[in-house]
């Protein structure tokens, strides 16, 4: 018998699903041939299966951030605004610390921190800090603000900074994906500019209203269906018009396959309006479909969805360690997998990697290895709700 919890299963199932898919992307990063220097979304060089492998993982970060906002709302149901604000503020600061200090270490194994990367944990942390103040606004204002940010931030695409000036660094943090070289063996990647992620978390927070205990289930599912279908329809309209909504317009190519890839090749860094629509739309439809579904498959994803922090850091460590073991087995230099700035500047791993089918096999192995660990930790968390520090892990 599973321990009892008041968590909403459909949300945890969706979170667990995207976390399992996320592992595929990260295994591809460490195992697929040329992954450190080849863009899997480059229309001219990618293949349909490689593009799909990357495209399907686009759902991970936006759904993760969106549901973090929803979870924040549900966490605050029985708390005062000040209590929820304090939790979001402290958790946001904690996540940024974990991103900079711990996550960068397990991603690179570089004790010198020569190539720090600000990724999704950073974006979630900063967005939580912002949400800790936004929750004092009326609910409708939060909703409108979130919609304005998501719909309007692509107006800022034309503002591009260069160099290492303070104002440029601020802009890289806010809205421009940029690798900043600080020296011959030092650089930093601003990979998750935060403006659109703040808007997405705010919208996720507003979604939480649909999951209040006294909210009619039929009405909730109706809203999920309408919003999901509406987001998808709007994606095809906006992307079809090809005027606004993404940093890179799609183009007609010399084959229908390349044209389709170009059409769906939306911008993630930072997430464009088109990117948000094509990812959050299906996520809402999934919540609509899965609400009353209960079987062994949903139970499998549920386990991962209830321990996201534990899963995230552990899966990166396991994948990186497995990559080192792989290099040793096949006679390579394991030190090449210590991902310093020099490794990227000198393209040390340009010829490294394995076929895509191996990537999928390793992905399945990693997920299965993580399952019993995540299940034990989930049960521990449920049985120790009195331990306040578990809410930060």
Query: Residue 4: which pLDDT band, with cuts at 50, 70 and 90?
Result: low
Report which of 16, 209, 186, 197 is spatially closest to residue 95, judged by C-alpha positions: 197
**Does 333 fall in a domain?**
yes
Residues 244 and 357 reside in one and the same domain? no
Section 279-288 average pLDDT: 98
H or E element: which one contains 182?
strand 178-183
Cα pseudo-dihedral 362, 352, 315, 48, rounded to 10: -60
**Does 387 fall in a domain?**
yes
Residues 230 and 379 reside in one and the same domain? no
Confidence check: pLDDT of 3 > 70: no
Report which of 57, 180, 192, 58 is spatially closest to residue 123, judged by C-alpha positions: 192
Biggest CA pair distance of the chain: 61
**Does 220 fall in a domain?**
yes
Residue 354 has a pLDDT of 95
Residue 1 has a pLDDT of 45
Section 2-10 average pLDDT: 73
Residue 235 and residue 277 in contact, taking contact as beta carbons nearer than 8 Å: yes
Q: Tokens 């209203």 identify what position?
A: 209
Cα angle, residue 120 at apex, residues 118 and 121 outer, rounded to 5°: 85
Share of the chain above pLDDT 90, in %: 89
Q: End of a domain among 293, 318, 345? A: 293
Give residues with Cβ within 8 angstroms of 201, minimum separation 6: 65, 66, 68, 69, 72, 124, 127, 128, 130, 131, 146
**Does 280 fall in a domain?**
yes
**Does 8 fall in a domain?**
no
Q: End of a domain among 269, 293, 317? A: 293
Residues 84 and 29 reside in one and the same domain? no
Residues 166 and 95 reside in one and the same domain? yes
Residue 177 and residue 43 in contact, taking contact as beta carbons nearer than 8 Å: no
Confidence check: pLDDT of 268 > 70: yes
Confidence check: pLDDT of 290 > 50: yes
Section 146-160 average pLDDT: 97
Residues 66 and 34 reside in one and the same domain? no
189 - beta bridge partners? Answer: 117, 179
Residues 187 and 326 reside in one and the same domain? no
188 - beta bridge partners? Answer: 180
Residues 147 and 217 reside in one and the same domain? yes
Report which of 11, 146, 148 is spatially closest to residue 70, judged by C-alpha positions: 11
Secondary structure (DSSP) of 212-281 = STTS-HHHHHHHHHHHHHHHHHHHHHHHHHTSSSSSS-----SSHHHHHHHHH---TTTTPHHHHHHHHH
**Does 266 fall in a domain?**
yes
The model scores a pTM over 0.85? yes
Give the domain range for residue 242: 49-293
> b/e per residue, 76-99, with b = 16+ CB within 10 A?
beeeeeeebbebbbebbeebbebb
Q: What is the spatial order of strands in the sheet that 186-190 belongs to?
A: 117-118, 186-190, 178-183
Report which of 75, 76, 110, 116 is spatially closest to residue 97, judged by C-alpha positions: 116
Residue 267 has a pLDDT of 97
Q: Specify burial of residue 184 (Cβ count, 10 A radius: 0-12, 13-18, 19+).
A: exposed
Encoded tokens for 164: 């290492």
Residue 188 and residue 204 in contact, taking contact as beta carbons nearer than 8 Å: no
**Does 7 fall in a domain?**
no
List the single range of 290-294, 298-302, 308-312, 387-391 with lowest mean pLDDT: 387-391
Section 289-308 average pLDDT: 96
Residues 146 and 266 reside in one and the same domain? yes
Residues 195 and 319 reside in one and the same domain? no
How many domains does the chain divide into? Answer: 2
Rounded Cα–Cα distance for residues 308 and 314 (Å): 10
Condensed to tens digits (0 to 9), the pLDDT of residues 17-56 reads 999 999 999 999 999 998 988 899 999 999 999 999 999 9
Rounded Cα–Cα distance for residues 147 and 159 (Å): 21
Condensed to tens digits (0 to 9), the pLDDT of residues 187-229 reads 999 999 999 999 999 999 999 999 999 999 999 999 999 999 9
Q: End of a domain among 293, 323, 353? A: 293
Residues 213 and 64 reside in one and the same domain? yes
Rounded Cα–Cα distance for residues 27 and 260 (Å): 25
Confidence check: pLDDT of 6 > 80: no
For 293, left (φ over 0), alpha (ψ -120 to 50), or beta?
beta
Give residues with Cβ within 8 angstroms of 365, minimum separation 6: none
Confidence check: pLDDT of 5 > 70: no
Residues 220 and 363 reside in one and the same domain? no
Beta pairing, strands 117-118 & 178-183: unpaired
**Does 303 fall in a domain?**
no
Residues 145 and 270 reside in one and the same domain? yes
Section 160-178 average pLDDT: 96
């Amino acid at each position: 018998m599973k321990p009892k919890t008041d968590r909403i299963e459909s949300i945890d199932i969706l979170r667990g699903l995207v976390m399992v898919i996320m592992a595929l992307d990260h295994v591809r990063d460490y195992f697929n041939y040329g992954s450190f220097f080849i863009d899997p979304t480059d229309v001219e060089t990618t293949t349909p299966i490689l593009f799909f492998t990357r495209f399907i993982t686009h759902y991970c970060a936006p759904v993760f951030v969106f549901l973090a906002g929803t979870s924040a709302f549900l966490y605050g149901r029985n708390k005062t605004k000040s209590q929820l604000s304090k939790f979001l503020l402290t958790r946001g600061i904690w996540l940024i610390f974990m991103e900079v200090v711990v996550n960068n270490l397990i991603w690179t194994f570089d004790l010198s921190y020569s190539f720090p990367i600000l990724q999704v944990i950073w974006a979630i942390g900063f967005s939580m800090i912002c949400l800790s103040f936004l929750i004092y606004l009326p609910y409708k204002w939060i909703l409108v603000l979130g919609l304005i940010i998501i719909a309007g931030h692509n107006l800022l695409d034309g503002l591009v900074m260069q160099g290492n000036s303070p104002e440029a660094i601020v802009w890289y943090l806010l809205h421009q994906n940029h690798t900043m070289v600080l020296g011959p063996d030092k650089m930093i990647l601003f990979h998750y500019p935060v403006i659109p992620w703040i808007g997405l978390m705010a919208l996720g927070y507003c979604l939480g209203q649909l999951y209040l205990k006294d909210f009619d289930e039929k009405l909730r599912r109706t809203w999920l269906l309408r919003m999901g279908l509406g987001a998808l329809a709007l994606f095809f309209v906006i992307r079809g018009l090809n005027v606004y909504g993404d940093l890179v317009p799609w183009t007609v190519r010399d084959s229908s396959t390349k044209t389709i890839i170009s059409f769906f090749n939306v911008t993630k860094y930072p997430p464009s309006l088109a990117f948000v629509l094509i990812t959050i739309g299906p996520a809402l439809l999934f919540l609509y479909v899965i609400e009353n579904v209960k079987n062994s498959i949903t139970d499998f994803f549920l386990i991962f969805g209830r321990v996201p922090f534990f899963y995230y850091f552990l899966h990166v460590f396991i994948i990186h360690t497995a990559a080192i073991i792989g290099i040793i087995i096949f006679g390579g230099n394991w030190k090449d997998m210590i991902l310093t700035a020099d490794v990227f500047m000198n393209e040390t791993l340009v010829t490294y990697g394995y076929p895509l089918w191996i990537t999928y096999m390793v992905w399945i192995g990693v997920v299965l290895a993580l399952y019993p660990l995540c299940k034990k930790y989930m049960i521990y968390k449920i049985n120790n709700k009195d331990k306040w520090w578990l809410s930060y892990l």
